[in-house]
Amino acid sequence: NAGVTQTPKFRVLKTGQSMTLLCAQDMNHEYMYWYRQDPGMGLRLIHYSVGEGTTAKGEVPDGYNVSRLKKQNFLLGLESAAPSQTSVYFCASNGARNEQFFGPGTRLTVL
Amino acid sequence: AQKITQTQPGMFVQEKEAVTLDCTYDTSDPSYGLFWYKQPSSGEMIFLIYQGSYDQQNATEGRYSLNFQKARKSANLVISASQLGDSAMYFCAMRDWYTGNQFYFGTGTSLTVIP
């Protein structure tokens, strides 16, 4: 039982490049979330999904897109990376008792 | 406007003593959930405790308890018998069903346990 996994763990991009972060969960959770964590800012919600085929905007969605084609996977895309998107990205899914299970995080640097 | 406010950037506590980490929240929705998470220096987010807005009793999970004061909109985390391994960042969060299941996190409190 792997829980929530994220791929990749680290990535360095140049401004304007694109990439996709993959989140996978094996707990059959309906709800999945993408956050970014910046120093002194806590976690901020980017996008989330309440089920397969659905997505919704969170607090800071600009510059990101997401897709939930399969229940167990939630993809976060950056079409044209900017230095302001340098951050640690966390994926999470919801358990039955409302707690969120988090992935280990992806450290992204945009030069 | 800030949904979750944690006013203590850093706290120190002596080993084996109790410590309270403050959290206030802002919502007009009657249905919401409050959470505390621990983030050690290794970076993972660990769920600690949950309190529903309609729960009559304060939540407890082992050495963690949540002091829920609904009228004051506060949800303070109490850690009893602090251990060295409790040194970490602690985040308070709220799930707001009114705004579509979004989660809001505070900026965190850094706790250091002194031997």
pLDDT tens for A84-102 read 999 999 999 987 667 789 9
Contact A44 B105 (CB under 8 A): yes
pLDDT category of residue B58 using cuts at 50, 70 and 90: very high
Q: Which residues on chain A are in Cβ contact (under 8 Å) with B35?
A: 98-100
Q: What is the pLDDT of residues A62-74, one digit of tens each?
A: 999 999 999 999 9
Q: Which residues on chain B are in Cβ contact (under 8 Å) with A45?
A: 102-104
Task: For residue A48, give the nearest of B37, B101, B106 by CB distance.
Answer: B101
Residue A52 near residue A70, CB atoms below 8 Å: yes
pLDDT category of residue A1 using cuts at 50, 70 and 90: low
Residue A85 near residue A108, CB atoms below 8 Å: yes
Q: Which residues on chain A are in Cβ contact (under 8 Å) with B45?
A: 43, 90, 92, 100, 102
- DSSP code at position A59: S
| Chain B residue with minimum CA distance to A91 | B45
CB contact, 8 Å: A39 with chain B? no
Q: What is the pLDDT of residues B1-26, one digit of tens each?
A: 569 999 999 999 999 999 999 999 99
Residue A65 near residue A79, CB atoms below 8 Å: yes
Q: Which residues on chain B are in Cβ contact (under 8 Å) with A104?
A: 43-44
Q: Which residues pair with B115 in a beta bridge?
A: none
What is the per-residue pLDDT for A54? 93
Task: For residue B35, give the nearest of A31, A42, A99 by CB distance.
Answer: A99
SS3 B84: helix
